[in-house]
Structure 1
């Protein structure tokens, strides 16, 4: 890890961890709350830092700390440091905000909460409160949350949003305080990433041969785990579930040469789907490009298809297209 490439907040986090809990707590006591949050988040996400990097950073400040060895920044070590300088309640609050959804403000964080989770919480709140919340998040996110609420309740919320003028600061502060204490804190404590989903994402990023080798080994160890991972993976072949409109949006976001290479090694079903989404003339031109491509290395095809899958997932995350990623139910034809 080169110290030149490290952002300032990460450099500060490494140095404070190297100083130890006592000195670090004294420094925290002299900082503003926003600075504490920023450095705490950097500490929690730091991971392992080798001794050379630590020594190099400390040398820049004319300190000799070559015996410090490797440091490990984690949520637990960060929380211990915060508790040295802040009340246990405030330290816990900061850690809950760090562990929770990303975002600098409460409204930013809400925008990163899954719409089903947020809707499930809001359906038990007063319509006026929900109107305030949905008025503060992005319209696209508010729309998805609103669509998941009971129809009659959603209409109550809509009517209040239509009548709502500027919201007084004390009302906003009250709603924000309630969300932080009742919703975000519980979300941070209860949110645990599914290990099968994590492995599925890793397998999606592997080339086809390596992924196949690991999947075969996993099936030998645990067929149940392998089947669960397979059901969570989203591959190039899964693009066959896209609607024609989604395919067109995806094709506009993909470089032409990557699409040509990807379709060169695609199944007939996928190739027909993509070509059928084009005009007759554009489809003919793409067929000609594929035919003129000649032999293509399997690795190049895998890379091109992986890039298209990543773009599809990005568009899905932005709400531009519907992926229908998890297909747990088996279909009988």
Structure 2
């Protein structure tokens, strides 16, 4: 059977861009209703993709809409909008951890807590809110938020404060309901909300490692030295769990191919500048011969690139890789790769 030209038009179009095309096709009001049910990071990714859409063809629009209709039509008989369908859809899209809070708010009508509201704020604003709070309160906030946002918030604190907070994050296990209620109480009144009645797992060594992955290299090295001075074993445990750009060489070929579909060539070109030959060959080997040759030539022809630009590109690719790993699309290898499968 010949390939559907509408589907063919979507070859090479990232999933995020497909979502953006679909939302742009829905119209403002319907798109807004969809976005209301996404978390801050998902809104940011899709919103950025929507703002960057250019030269979208009619075939691509029709292809995206057709894929969506095919997906929905296969489930309509089960009752689109049923609790089971919503739970399955969100869990598949966001992963169990990220979807759980969103499912509760949609299906149970829960309100966004003060802590959840912080996810929508600029990192400097969050840092200002918690700056004068007890270090344990600061650690709970840092452990609760997404790792990349937590890293941005930590960057607004002095070195000694960062070290104290990260030591506390690594030591956290569960947080009593009273502590969460107290934290919500200290936030501005418009963010206050009930915190529930169950203990919540927060922090730990893996959480500390995830946050460290998002810090700027200079801050990361400085913080790791400070942790090792206090507790050498803890510092080594955190370091073993960290996933850095060079660890992508341990991802299997299928995972690299999936990652390549989500990143653009210009970003990869800068990220690979100065990388280990093995990692470069890993990417080249999972591209077409022509694409690999062009990328290799582009890298060789590049002028000097700031180290900060290379690191920023690498961190952006790592963020995409972690998101894909959370969604179950790829398995990250490296030191912490053994924990990626359950």
TM-score when normalising by structure 1: 0.45
Larger Rg: 1
TM-score when normalising by structure 2: 0.44
